[in-house]
Structure 1
C-alpha cells in the first residue's frame, strides 16, 4: 500500500498539468489560478488537500481545507 504525502508527487503534478518540465508546470499552474510554492531547484510544490479541492471545483480556503467538526442534530427527529 502506497502512503500519500501532504504534497503531490512529480508524476501527479505532471498528470494534472500535462507537462513534465517544471517551467511548463509553473506556467500552467499560474494560468489556471493554482497556488504553489517553489523549491530551491524551481520545482512547483502543490498541497494534496488543495489539489483535491481544486479538482472537485471547490474554491480552497482556510475553512474548507480542514476537517469540519459536526454535532448530532436531533431537533428534527419526531
Structure 2
C-alpha cells in the first residue's frame, strides 16, 4: 500500500475541496481493497452519485469516501496524545 498521495493530479483545480476530493479518490481507487470480502480492488461509481463513491465488483459492497479539513492544533494534540 502506497501511503503517499499524488498531488499533481489536482493541479488544474482551484478549489481546495475539489483538490482534496480528486487526490483522495485517486488514492482510494489505487490503494484500497474491499473490507467486506477482501477483494484487492475497488471500482469507482460515476461522479455525483448521492450515496456511494466506490464498490466491490465481487460482493457489491458500497463505500463512501468522506474527508474534512481538521483543525491543525486538534490534530497535533491528538497525534501527541497517541504517541
TM-score bin (small chain): under 0.3
Structure with the larger helix share: 2
The structure whose Rg is larger is 1
TM, length-normalised to structure 2:
0.26
TM, length-normalised to structure 1:
0.27
Larger RCO, structure (CA 8 Å, separation 6 or more): 1
